[in-house]
Amino acid sequence: MLKGKFAVLSLAAAALLCLQVAGVNTVNSGVVHPCNSTAAAAAGNNFACPQSDGDALSAGGNTITVTVHDNTNAPVVGIPATDFWVIGCNNLLVLCGGAGSSGATAASDALGMTTIAGDIAAGGCDTGVKVVVQSIILGGGACAVLCLAIVVRSADLLGPAAGPPDLKVDVLDFAKFGSLYPFPGGGHIYGPGACQNSAMIDFVAPYGTVNVQDFAKFGAHYNHKC
C-alpha cells in the first residue's frame, strides 16, 4: 500500500516537472500577461472632457479591440468591463476617477476579447493611448512598446498657475484657448507635436485648422468638470 502511495506521488511530481520547461511555468494562470495580450485601433483623433461627455472612440472610427491572454497564451475570460481603461502614452492625460475614466463595452469573452469604444473622461492632451487591464499595461503582443496613435485632446487644457489639468473646464482654460486662437492666422504656432501650442485646441475636423468650430466645441463643454 505504501509503495502504491509513493508511485502516485512520483507520478504527480513527474507531471509537475513536465509543466515546467526551462524554468517557465506552463500552468494556465488566468492572469493577464502583457506580452501575450494585444490592443489595436485605427489612428485618429478624439475629443475628451472630464465630465465624460466627450466624443466616443467609436464615433471617430477609433474603437480599440483588446485581446487578453495569460502566460500560456490562453484567453482570460470574464474580466469585468470596468477593469479596462486607457492612459496617455506620455502620461499627459489626467484621468477622471482613475480607471473609471473609460471602460470596455463588455467583459472579455471566450476568446479573451472585448472593445473600448466610449468616451475618455480626462483633461490634458496626449499623442496616443495605452491600454491598461487590471492595472497591467499591455505590451503589444511581444512586449514591444504599445502606443495606439489616437490623439486625445481635452477642453480641460490646464490647471492653476499653468499646471497640470485640474479636471474642470473654467476661465483658466478659456484664457489658454484664447491665447492660441485662431490658427492659421494671428501669428500662432501649430506644433511641433499634436499637443503643443495651437494644436492643443484643434478639437474638430478638418485637423490643421483652428477656427470657430473648435471654439464652439470648447464653449459647449465650458464649466464641465469631473
The 3-state secondary structure of 164-178, one letter per residue? CCCCECCHHHHHHHH
Model pLDDT, residue 142: 66
Cell output for 200 = 492643443
Average pLDDT, the chain: 88
Backbone phi, psi, residue 149, to 5°: -80, 60
Which residues on neighbouring strands pair with residue 159, listed in sequence order? none
6 versus 116: which is more confidently predicted? 116
Cell output for 30 = 488566468
In the structure, what pLDDT confidence band is assigned to residue 43 with cuts at 50, 70 and 90?
A: very high
Distance CA 103, CA 168 (A): 21
pLDDT above 90 covers what percent of the chain? 76
Task: Examine the pLDDT at 25 and tell me if it is beyond 80.
Answer: no
Mean pLDDT value of segment 100-107: 93
Residue range 109-161, pLDDT digits in tens: 999 999 999 999 999 999 999 999 999 999 876 678 789 999 999 999 999 99
Model pLDDT, residue 26: 53
Cβ proximity of 50 and 224 under 8 Å: yes
In the structure, what pLDDT confidence band is assigned to residue 20 with cuts at 50, 70 and 90?
A: very low
Task: Examine the pLDDT at 200 and tell me if it is beyond 70.
Answer: yes
Distance CA 218, CA 156 (A): 9
Lowest mean pLDDT among 2-6, 45-49, 155-159: 2-6
Number of alpha carbons in the 13 Å side-chain half-sphere of residue 43: 4
Total-model pTM: 0.86
Cβ proximity of 186 and 209 under 8 Å: no
Model pLDDT, residue 141: 66
Cell output for 107 = 467583459
Dump strand ranges (E) for the chain: 20-21, 24-25, 38-40, 44-48, 64-67, 84-88, 93-95, 113-116, 122-126, 129-133, 136-137, 150-154
Q: Is 65 exposed, middle or buried (0-12, 13-18, 19+ CB in 10 A)?
A: middle
Distance CA 146, CA 93 (A): 16
Q: How far is CA 211 from CA 11, 22, 86, 181, 206, in A?
A: 74, 61, 29, 7, 10
Among residues 108, 107, 28, the alpha carbon closest in space to that of 68 is found at: 108
Task: Examine the pLDDT at 10 and tell me if it is beyond 50.
Answer: no
Mean pLDDT value of segment 187-206: 91
Model pLDDT, residue 18: 32
